[in-house]
Amino acid sequence: MELAPRSCRMPLLLLLLGLSTGAVISWPTEEGKEVWDYVTVRKDAHMFWWLYYATSPSKNFSELPLVMWLQGGPGGSSTGFGNFEEIGPLDRDLKPRRTTWAIQQGTIQCNFAGVALGDSWISPIDSVLSWGPYLYSMSLLDDQGLAEVSQAAEQVLDAINKRLYKEATELWEKAEMVIEQNTDGVNFYNILTKTSPTSTMKSSLEFTQSHTVHLFQRHVRHLQQDALSQLMNGPIRKKLKIIPEDCSWGGQAASVFLNMEGDFMKPVISIVDELLEAGVNVTVYNGQLDLIVDTMGQEAWVRKLEWAELPKFSQLKWKPLYSDPKTSETSAFVKSHKNLAFYWILRAGHMVPSDQGDMALQMMRLVTQQE
């Protein structure tokens, strides 16, 4: 769980879904239980984790996969946002989520089977360069706007080429402002949904630079919905019992983001290449309506992989997927070759499981081979 950046140091956040049988913790023995605790990462750095394991009519937990969920941001809360807004067993109103991923369970003493990269920030410049064409094709920019957005994106490219990464982060933010001005304030996480302005969010975070205030307005506000804050700092805090007095929950840690400003615009395509080379299964999935990490940008960095099997992957034709077998409505497309799979998730924004829970769950089952 991610806790308030001002009053305590909780730099990382983690939500694990599944049952673990690690030696350190004594695990509950009945099904359907959950466990949570802090783990000390290094001096003064504590990471909160929360594990769910759930009922499976036919299989023991030791036969099922463990799913580990790491929120992006950088600095977003897995145990708050990912848990209650995306994939946990309960939603923000504490109602059971029909499409929870916690129906899967597994063990920590397991083979590392793969990673899934969901709307992930792998090659920032490929995202930024595709913003203009994507918005233009969706009738969210006119010619004039496209020219302005493209120009702003070129400035980001220039900074990245010079390896001026902190400057690139500032220019990235400037490019977003150009987009806002030209699109009447498009929502970067789902271009078909308008963000509703809220005024109460600023209070829990400290900012030193004015550009960060804008950044917060655009990227943090939606994560820090009042209802979720109230839930986390109210009933959930009471339930967990172990949250220190001086810590309160926040959906997004500004301090985490600020500390990573210099890393934020660096590409990590080579790390994906290393995973592929090592034989790790890599699943890339992306929401069609996400702007901040649009699908065009994801396809652009995939084309840059040095993986020897890439030409074969690229030659494949995608296959349609249907989350409801009774309808013929296409929910996604998938392409898969050896240890790389790519899912185009339709009608979803940045938070795929929030927007298309059924499709996300079906994909998770395919990826973990539970069907």
Ligand X SMILES: *[C@@H]1O[C@H](CO)[C@@H](O)[C@H](O)[C@H]1NC(C)=O
Select the residue interacting with ligand X from 339, 354, 356, 362 (CB under 6 A).
Answer: 339
Q: Does 114 interact with ligand X (rule: CB under 6 A)?
A: yes
What is the smallest separation between the CB atom of 319 and ligand X, expressed in angstroms?
13
Q: How far apart are CA 9 and CA 65, in angstroms?
A: 31
Return the number of the residue (263 or 318) whose C-beta is nearest ligand X.
318
Select the residue interacting with ligand X from 281, 286, 298, 331 (CB under 6 A).
Answer: 281
Select the residue interacting with ligand X from 113, 177, 192, 227 (CB under 6 A).
Answer: 113
Q: How far apart are CA 255 and CA 94, in angstroms?
A: 29
Bridge partners (DSSP) listed for residue 90: 96
Return the number of the residue (6 or 337) whose C-beta is nearest ligand X.
337
What is the smallest separation between the CB atom of 196 and ligand X, expressed in angstroms?
41
How many residues touch ligand X under the rule CB under 6 A: the total is 7
What is the smallest separation between the CB atom of 281 and ligand X, expressed in angstroms?
4
Window 122 to 181, contacts with ligand X (CB under 6 A): none
Q: Which long-range contacts (CB under 8 A, 24 or more apart) does 160-169 make?
A: 160/124, 160/125, 160/265, 165/262, 165/263, 165/264, 165/265, 165/266, 166/261, 166/262, 168/124, 168/125, 168/264, 168/265, 169/261, 169/262, 169/264, 169/265
Q: Does 55 interact with ligand X (rule: CB under 6 A)?
A: no
Return the number of the residue (113 or 242) whose C-beta is nearest ligand X.
113
Select the residue interacting with ligand X from 62, 151, 161, 314 (CB under 6 A).
Answer: 62
Return the number of the residue (38 or 333) whose C-beta is nearest ligand X.
333
What is the smallest separation between the CB atom of 314 and ligand X, expressed in angstroms?
17
Select the residue interacting with ligand X from 7, 32, 55, 60 (CB under 6 A).
Answer: 60
Q: Does 109 interact with ligand X (rule: CB under 6 A)?
A: no
What is the smallest separation between the CB atom of 39 and ligand X, expressed in angstroms?
22
Q: Where are the alpha helices (DSSP H) in the chain?
A: 124-137, 143-161, 165-183, 210-215, 226-231, 237-240, 254-259, 269-277, 295-303, 310-315, 352-355, 357-367
Using alpha carbons, list the distances in angstroms from residue 243 to 1, 46, 53.
Answer: 10, 11, 22
What is the smallest separation between the CB atom of 60 and ligand X, expressed in angstroms?
4
Return the number of the residue (56 or 217) whose C-beta is nearest ligand X.
56
Amino acid at 129: L
Return the number of the residue (62 or 270) whose C-beta is nearest ligand X.
62
* CA angle 324–327–332, rounded 5-degree value: 55
Using alpha carbons, list the distances in angstroms from residue 127 to 61, 171, 268.
Answer: 39, 13, 13
Q: Does 288 interact with ligand X (rule: CB under 6 A)?
A: no
Q: What is the DSSP string of 44-62?
A: TEEEEEEEE----SS--GG
Residues that bind ligand X (CB under 6 A): 60, 62, 113-114, 281, 336, 339
